[in-house]
Amino acid sequence: MVEARLIASRGGNRAAATRLINRINTIVADVAMTRAQKIHELQDKIESLEEKIATITNIDNAIQDELDPGYGTKCREFPDAVSNMY
């Protein structure tokens, strides 16, 4: 079943995003790191987190398309109308 594979993939990506958020919090709280080190590490982690969020969004759209094939098209073409429907 395609949905199960997508849902599992989404779960793995959410777990990775959670780890990145935890790592970001650790970097912010680390008093031993210099400001320059923190900035470098945070930029890297935030970029990775943004990529994970985009991946999760794409997976969400794919899951929704599997469950309701016309939904994704409606959302992209008429976002205001669809948000009022749901």
Write out pLDDT tens, residues 2-29: 788 999 999 999 999 999 999 999 999 9
Could you give the residue ranges of the DSSP H alpha helices within the chain? 2-29, 35-67, 71-77, 79-85
- The pTM assigned to this predicted structure is 0.73
Tens digit of each residue's pLDDT (9 = 90 or more) over 24-59: 999 999 999 999 999 999 999 999 999 999 999 999
Between CA 17 and CA 13 the distance in angstroms is 6
- Residue 38: which of 49, 20, 26, 52 has the closest Cα? 26
